[in-house]
Structure 1
Amino acid sequence: MASVAEMPKNIEITAENLQEELHRLQAQRESLQRELAAVVAHLSSIQTALKALQDLMRTSAAEAAPAPVEVSERTDGQPGPVDQAVLAEARDRPTAAPQRSDLEEKQEPKPSTPRAGASPAPAKGQAKYGKLTEQIEKYFAGTGGRVIRARDVAAALGRDTDAGSINAVRSTLDRLVGTSRIQRAGRGLYRANP
């Protein structure tokens, strides 16, 4: 056992050790508080930047979304029923910023009031929209009833450069199936009507 004379010395050493530990812990706490303040400031700036980018993406998507398009089967110049497939495509479009070629292809100008007696000229976007449909129908007319993948149709039309172009071809194929102009032969597979 330790003698009574050594006990105060041990208590003094222990107190010094605890005092040093206290100073070390206080310094560590101050360091951690500074680090936490820096992380909170960085987090705040990241959140602000992210919110600004999300607002910008929403604004870009809203500007890029085409206005509802009137599609008419009538020949008297009066507007027909709204094409539900076009509205569904606009609704299902991803929220990511669209590619420039997609914007040029799908954005519809605001309709203007035609002059009396004048036949309305197709808008630039409508001409491209109709052009893709016509290209696909023409392509399927020459396939002889073979089953074709959507990606192969996109490649044949030169529209396989990016995912947006391929998806535009797929959407058009689905519309053509919906209007019974071509047949779906399986998942992602299509063929001309017999």
Structure 2
Amino acid sequence: MVAVTHTTRNVEITAENLQEELHRLEAQRQALERELAVVTAHLGSVQQALAALQGLMRTAPPAVSRPVVSSPVADVPATDPAEPGPSSAVDAPATADERTKGSEGAPERTRPARRKPEKTAQDQGKYGRLTEQIMEFFAGTGGTAVRARDVAAALGRDTDAGSINAVRSTLDRLVGTSRVQRAGRGLYRAHSS
């Protein structure tokens, strides 16, 4: 009789744990769906911008040859004038003077303005600093093990399951990069140096 009640209690505990896991996974699924929607929207805008630029490149008149200018933009490599490379106004960035002044006998040309990324500064502040905020939080814990929900509450991100799951995901990523330690199931602590 005692063994039956013990087994029944184990089944009840397992069922409760599975129910909690189901709720957590559902919240994580919803958060991932929202994130996928944001990525899909950003992908669409990048594809539209690329298509527009490719259309401009096809219809642009032949470029006037000019010296290649080193790019201040990090993702556009500077070109060595000795190597063959882009020399058209579409490929190489133009200075303000080059955009407004026309060549002799050539009509004035201006470059289209660069499109800003879809993320606003507010989004960057909200999501881009999460890792930094978590590391600042752990710097003040003194090595105490804390739950992801407590970290989320301390950062003011415990308003919904998606925000808490974002903190959990970031904590798991930090564990993977050895910046935070897993202290037990659902527990994290600052990495001892």
Tell me the TM-score normalized by structure 2.
0.42
- Which structure carries more relative contact order (alpha carbon 8 Å, separation 6+)? 2
Decide which structure has greater helix share.
1
TM-score normalized by structure 1? 0.41
Find the structure with the greater CA-based Rg: 1
